Amino acid sequence: AAEAIPAVNHHVALGAGQTLSVQVAGEGGVPATGAEAAVVQLTATDTSSSGYLTAYSGGTRPGTSNVNFVARRNSSTRAIVALNANGALSVYNSNGSTDVVVDVVGYFSDSTGSLTGGALFDPVTPFRLADTRPASAEPYTDTTLGPNTAETIAVAGVGAIPAVVDGSPTAALLNVTEATANAGSYLTVTPSPITPPATTSDVNFAAGEVRANADLAAVSSSGSISVYNLAGNTDFAVDAFGYFVAAAGIHPLAP
């Protein structure tokens, strides 16, 4: 049987066959009751071998994976994970030793949850929202994103996403791609510029890699997002697949 590591704020690497319990309900902006699933960013870092992470609600572990990683390279992905009756989720490590980072970016309410403050999803035909590469002909171009810097990207009123009026977007479903990086770093997407350095990540990458990740990003009241880069120089592209408008359902959070 997998060995379980006691829950909250652990500060201990996850060994082969070990399972980490992570309390979500009652933490950050997630209510103590009424949350059925969480939208999280899962990151494996300081990995000693190849392996995978599985995120699930607890109990019998499914035979699936969320993050597949190799030795000595950060890997991450976005996942929607059911919570158990105590509002926690479990993360299992298959091989070697790895540190695990869980960033919460939103939650889904259950039948007892609040019917206010949530949002309903409207899909759109995918389109490129932003591209910083010099040759790009997309609606947003700029110079390479430098270390410890951020760029603000308009979301509302672009393409099929409505402008900031009644029914304006509260969040957007995006794919964020890093390209041309000259150093290991990460990108963080937030509703408005943050005070660096960011403590959460959306795309983790090494120098010379091209990495992408899905992102459910909260949108600011003015209809924009901010993309932050920790270190080195990199270009990035953002593709939009849909948006959320205020109603019951998903509750996007600033990561």
Q: What tens digit of pLDDT does each residue of 126-177 get?
A: 998 988 887 655 555 567 899 999 999 999 999 889 998 766 788 999 999 9
115 or 53, greater pLDDT: 53
Instruction: Choose the weakest-confidence range: 8-17, 99-108, 222-231, 238-247.
Output: 8-17
pLDDT for residue 195 = 79
**DSSP classification of residue 74:** -
pLDDT for residue 117 = 62
Instruction: Choose the weakest-confidence range: 121-125, 151-155, 230-234.
Output: 121-125
Instruction: Choose the weakest-confidence range: 151-155, 162-166, 188-192, 228-232.
Output: 162-166
Overall pTM > 0.95:
no
Instruction: Tell me if 87 sits within 8 A of 26, measured CB to CB.
Output: yes
